[in-house]
Amino acid sequence: MRKGRSIDFINMAENVIHIAAGFILTIVIIVMTIAIYDKNQGDEATMGNFGTIGFNGNWTMYGKGGSERVNLPLTVPDSYGDEVTLLKRLPSNLSDGMSFMIRSTVEDVSIYVDGKLRTEYTALNKPHMSRYLPSAFIVADLNAADAGKNIVVIVHFNTKHVINDIQLSHGNNVWFGIIKNSFWVNCFAFFVLIMGILLFTSTSFLESKYKLSAIRILGLLMINVTLWMLAESTLRQFIFQRPTLSQYFSYFLVELIGAFACMYFDEVQHRVYHKRYVVMEGIVVLQIFVNIILHATNVIELYGTMYISHIWNMLCAVLGVVNLITDAVKGRIRNYKFAVIGMVSFIVLALGEMIGFMANRFHVFGAEICIALFLLMTATIAQTIYDSVTGYEERAKNYTAMTVKTIETIASAIDARDEYTGGHSERVGCYAERLAREMAADYELSEDDIQNIHYVGLIHDIGKIGVPDGVLNKSGMLDDEEFALMKQHPVIGYEIMSSLGGNVEGLLDGIRYHHERFDGTGYPEGLSDTDIPLIARILAIADSYDAMTTDRVYRMRLSDEVVKQELIRCAGTQFDPALVAIFLRLLENGEVAPITSK
């Protein structure tokens, strides 16, 4: 009693600890959220000034179309031509170590202070570079001596006539806002990139044993998209020592998205639309090589072919949508019902990002596509786990069915070999099943357990295959030597089924121990009481009941009354008395009766 109370107290304490730990963790998360967003900083240590000064008003802009006063940012009218000059006087309160920043979006930008070139970002002084330089932040250093002097910004447009805003700051504070605004998106991108690498590398090693092609290709897709995100990130100048080279790898990465997406969809949809996807993948990859050749031969630069690649990527998405709709109509979508959630999310968000990229050349992949990839990864892993579990269950079910069929075949062979006890195995299986069903509630036997007991009953005497015919079919009583041979059949049967394998629970125990006696005088190991497996105790009663209720060459079958008396007499010696009581109740109620041969 004390031991039970001690266990109850420990369990209660464990539950209290779990609840308390969960409550504390919840409070911690709430406090951390407040710490991130609460702007009440009166008692906090100061971080210093990271502020910047907008320097966007009252510029004078010159171009072919004349001149005018403008405020930044702005879209320059085409009438000004492909190059404009911005002029303004620097503030009179400049100090040493200040910075002037403007973002180029594929424009050539030159910055002059007091008529002298301070810095520039142009393809003219970068050999072997496309004139479509990647977007970049151009920073010019200022000092106190520049105060009140004229600053000139010359912008040469290569695509859209757009001039971005301008910021002044102390030192590199001008970068602080850009880093802060991009921090979480870039962290998310790095996280998705790492997950993609892990998925690809781990599944590459495991694919020979498991069907993980979809996850492996998803890993490649995640790597591809997140590398593009980093290539187009506003922090590109921090990530790469040679950010201008992104004009090459960024283009290739965006072009590959459609190909990897098709490969992934093809695997998830079980290659039903394999030819369609392969054709689209081939077109996308071929387009990349064509673009490289056109760029290398100076026919058209990579930037000029981007819209074609975007069209193919969009067609890849359309193909995926069409195939999803087709599967939904035909009911095939249930075969990947988890993955489809991620697939739809990815298509919608990726198309939105792609349209934004085409509408605004400098649209950068952000949180939306990261979320889409994360959802796609989660859904795909969930689908893979579900497929593995259901596949295992299906294989187990099929294997069990094959095992049962084998058992039935072997049982027929055993009975056919024993000319005096034909049908014995089938009858034992039926009696054992009926007894098990009556015991189910008290012994917590499931329907599967009951069926397994029936199957084991069919094959319990398989070891008789190893007993000589002369002993097995002897018309008289067996002598000691012959009985010793007969007593080996449980061991022989056990060894046979051990070598064949099988997933029917209790199979080996039932075969090996069905001749054990409750008082420990049975064979082959002399087990007693509940050391004898339950299935063997059930079979012992079913086996003996059939032996007593069938004709043998050396005697006629016993009467029903004598059979009951024998069961009572042997309860506690040969049989489990509790099971005998249940079996006798079945006999009294007429729920079990001798099965006669047809």
Whole-angstrom Cα distance, residue 254 to residue 312? 11
What percent of the chain clears pLDDT 70, i.e. is strictly above it? 86
Q: pLDDT tens digits for 522-562?
A: 999 999 999 999 999 999 999 999 989 987 666 788 888 99
Residue 69: pLDDT over 50? yes
CA angle 302/306/312 to nearest 5° reads 135
SS3 46: coil
What angle (nearest 5°) sits at the alpha carbon of residue 521, between those of residues 546 and 445? Answer: 55
Mean pLDDT across the chain: 85
Q: Which residues are CB-neighbours of 550 under 8 A, at least 6 positions away?
A: 421, 424, 427, 557, 594
The helix-helix angle for 213-231 and 246-268 (nearest 10°) equals 160
Q: What percent of the chain has pLDDT over 90?
A: 40
CA distance 434 to 452: 12
Round to whole Å and give the CA distance between 164 and 182.
18
Please say if the pLDDT value at position 412 is more than 90.
no
54 token code pair = 């907008």
What's the confidence (pLDDT) of residue 362? 47
Checking if the pLDDT of 70 tops 50, the result is: yes
What would the DSSP string read from start to end of 136-166?
A: EEEEEEE-GGGTT-EEEEEEE-SSS-EE--E
Of residues 476 and 196, more confidently modeled = 196
DSSP class of 295? H
Average pLDDT over residues 401-427: 69
Tens-digit pLDDT profile for residues 139-179: 999 999 999 999 999 999 988 899 999 999 988 888 888 88
Q: Is 59 a residue whose pLDDT tops 90?
A: yes
Kind and range of the H or E run holding 568: helix 560-570
Buried b (16+ CB within 10 A) or exposed e, 366-391: bebbbebbbbbbebbbebbeebeeee
Residue pair 117/125 in contact by the 8 Å Cβ criterion: no
Q: Give the number of other Cβ atoms within 10 Å of residue 79's Cβ.
A: 10
The radius of gyration of the chain's CA atoms, rounded to the nearest angstrom, is 41
Contact (CB, 8 A) for 564 and 537: no
Cα separation, 29 vs 31, whole angstroms? 6
**Cα(83)–Cα(451) distance, integer angstroms:** 86
CA 160, CA 80: separation in Å to the nearest integer?
A: 13
Look-up of token digits 């097995």 = 472
d(C-alpha 274, C-alpha 118), whole Å: 57
Report residue 301's pLDDT band, with 50, 70 and 90 as the boundaries: confident
pLDDT of residue 117: 95
Question: Cα angle at 306 between 304 and 307, to 5 degrees?
Answer: 100
Cα torsion through 73, 78, 84, 90, rounded to 10: -30
- Torsion angles phi and psi, residue 132, rounded to 5: -90, 70
What local confidence, expressed as pLDDT, does residue 569 receive?
94
- Rounded to whole angstroms, the maximal C-alpha distance in the chain is 127
Judged on CB neighbours under 10 Å (0-12, 13-18, 19+), 453 is buried
Tokens (6 digits) for 430: 């039926």
Element (H, E) at 62: strand 59-63
DSSP lists the bridge partners of residue 170 as 98
Beta carbons of 543 and 428 less than 8 angstroms apart: yes
DSSP string, 370-421: HHHHHHHHHHHHHHHHHHHHHHHHHHHHHHHHHHHHHHHHHHHHHHHH-TTS
| Segment among 44-58, 530-544, 564-578 with least mean pLDDT | 44-58
Q: pLDDT band for position 572 (50/70/90)?
A: very high
Q: Which long-range contacts (CB under 8 A, 24 or more apart) does 187-194 make?
A: 188/367, 188/370, 189/226, 189/229, 189/230, 189/233, 189/365, 189/370, 190/226, 190/230, 191/370, 192/222, 192/225, 192/226, 192/370, 192/373, 192/374, 192/377, 193/222, 193/223, 193/226, 193/227, 193/230
Which of 126-140, 202-216, 498-512 comes out lowest in average pLDDT?
A: 498-512
Please name the residue that has the structure tokens 């099943």: 433
Question: Higher pLDDT residue, 327 or 182?
Answer: 327
d(CA 303, CA 315): 20
> DSSP letters of 470-518?
HHHT-SS---HHHHHHHTTHHHHHHHHHHHH----TTHHHHHHHTT--T
Segment 460-472 shows an average pLDDT of: 77
How far apart are the C-alpha atoms of 412 and 425, rounded to whole Å?
8
Half-sphere exposure of 157 (CA within 13 A, CB side): 18
Concatenate the DSSP letters of all residues of 217-267 into one string: HHHHHHHHHHHHHHHT-TTHHHH-SSGGGHHHHHHHHHHHHHHHHHHHHHH
pLDDT in the model for residue 155: 95
Residue 1 has pLDDT above 50, yes or no: no
Helices (H), 297-366: 302-330, 339-359
More confident call, 75 vs 473: 75
| Confidence bin at 419 (pLDDT 50/70/90) | low
Mean of pLDDT values over 406-423 = 64
Greater model confidence, 583 or 484: 583
In degrees, rounded to 5, the angle at the alpha carbon of residue 487 between the alpha carbons of residues 431 and 479 is 115
Close Cβ partners of 540 (under 8 Å, ≥ 6 residues apart):
514, 515, 516, 517, 532, 574, 575, 576
pLDDT for 79-120, tens place per residue? 999 999 999 999 999 999 999 999 998 889 999 999 999 999
> Parallel, antiparallel, or unpaired for β 59-63 and 66-70?
antiparallel
For residue 270, is pLDDT > 80? yes
Is a pLDDT exceeding 60 seen at residue 8?
yes
Higher pLDDT, 233 or 580: 580
Q: What is the pLDDT, as a whole number, of residue 482?
A: 78
β-pairing, 108-113 vs 150-156, is: antiparallel
Residue 441 Cα distances to 198, 434, 446, angstroms: 49, 13, 9
Q: Is the pLDDT of residue 464 over 70?
A: yes
Q: Point out the least confidently predicted range of 129-143, 185-199, 348-362, 381-395.
A: 348-362
- Sheet of 98-104: strand order equals 52-54, 166-170, 98-104, 136-142
